[in-house]
Amino acid sequence: SERLFGGFRKTSERLTGNLSGIVGKSRLDDAQLDEIEDALIMSDLGPRAAARIRERLAQERFERGEIDSGDERAIMEVVAREIADILRPVAKPLDIVAFPRPQVILTIGVNGSGKTTTIAKLAHLFQEQDYAVMLAAGDTFRAAAIGQLGVWAERLDVPIVKGPEGGDPASVVFDAVKAATDDGTDVLIVDTAGRLQNKRELMDELAKIRRVLGRLNPEAPHDVVLVLDATNGQNALSQIEIFKEVAGVTGLIMTKLDGTARGGVLVAAAEQYGLPIHAIGVGEKIDDLRPFNPDLLARVIAG
Ligand code: GDP
């Protein structure tokens, strides 16, 4: 968690920086609550989470006696408590529960979001839990994507099913599910192309993958995990919107939360979409995937 505090330092500094100009002037009145609400929005927490936190501050002011606006600590504690309350309902690890096996996890996300790295991190995590893991290189659009996933598979010593560049992703997925079933694999992680530039094609491609999966196992895909880059800020939120519609997202993993000042989007995503958040990425290394721990994260974000 040292690493986590370090990683979120810029996010936390931004939030406390935005708030510090406000608090400490006079008693916490409505005008100050307005300013605090604005500062929270400026810190990427989004209008809904900001309104909730404002409400909580107002409540504490009336119900627990005046909070002195000079008491920055008291205010930050209220902020942290409300952030924890926003994050708690969406905390949900990716559990391997599918029966029959394998559990099929589709991963989606735009190129550069950290999808490939996240697949490798997940594979590693499941290996550590003694599950048999297999990868499927379903992003046949980019040769580099197939190659990069292959490198991770080799490094982690997990089997990978690939097709030719430009090949049919659904046929790769078909082969992978058959292989995974034959091998008694517990979890199959499928990479897909993140081509948002052509929504129609992407939708058709994902629909075809789903059809093929459904034919082999009506429960599959068990998870559709959207990988988001936190450094994209509000843009990451609009990606949730689009991929929810295009891909039927069942959960999120947010990456690159280390060293960005935009970690507030994690709170905005939780409040605005309520989708499960499975884990967060805090670095480029294989074990830089962290469980989504709401209370710890709230403390890390609200300094
Ligand atoms: P993809 O195009 O979505 O598959 O993205 P990649 O997995 O290739 O990642 C793009 C870049 O982001 C690479 O340089 C990764 O090392 C880096 N990256 C991925 N996840 C994280 C993270 O959590 N933190 C940081 N700092 N970098 C990350």
Phi-psi region at 177: left, alpha or beta (left = phi > 0; alpha = psi -120 to 50): alpha
- 3-state class (DSSP) for residue 229: strand
Q: What is residue 69's predicted lDDT score, i.e. its pLDDT?
A: 63
63-72, 86-95, 140-149, 208-217, range with the lowest pLDDT? 63-72
CA-nearest of 124, 150, 117, 151 to 136 is: 150
- 294 C-alpha vs ligand 1 centroid, how far in Å? 23
111 lines ligand 1 (CB under 6 A): yes
> Does the annotation flag 233 for ligand binding?
no
Per-residue tokens: 4: 């986590």
DSSP at 140: T
231 lines ligand 1 (CB under 6 A): no
Contact of 301 with 83, CB cutoff 8 Å: yes
DSSP at 280: E
Please give the Cα distance from 132 to 160 (Å, whole number).
12
Other Cβ atoms less than 10 A from the Cβ of 210: the count is 18
Identity of residue 276: P
- Quick one: pLDDT band at residue 126, thresholds 50, 70, 90? very high
Q: Does 24 score more than 70 pLDDT?
A: no
- Quick one: pLDDT band at residue 104, thresholds 50, 70, 90? very high
Identity of residue 76: M
> Phi first, then psi: what are they for 182, rounded to 5°?
-60, -35
281 lines ligand 1 (CB under 6 A): yes
- Quick one: pLDDT band at residue 161, thresholds 50, 70, 90? very high
263 lines ligand 1 (CB under 6 A): no
Within the chain, residue ranges assigned H as helices are 2-7, 9-20, 30-42, 46-63, 72-87, 115-128, 143-156, 169-182, 199-216, 234-247, 265-273, 294-301
260 lines ligand 1 (CB under 6 A): no
Residues 6 or more apart whose CB falls under 8 angstroms from that of 112 comprise 229
Q: What is the mean pLDDT of residues 154-177?
A: 96
Q: Which atom of ligand 1 is nearest to the CA of 145?
A: 4
Query: Within 13 A of 8's CA, how many CA atoms are on the CB side?
Result: 24
Q: What is residue 279's predicted lDDT score, i.e. its pLDDT?
A: 98
- Quick one: pLDDT band at residue 99, thresholds 50, 70, 90? very high
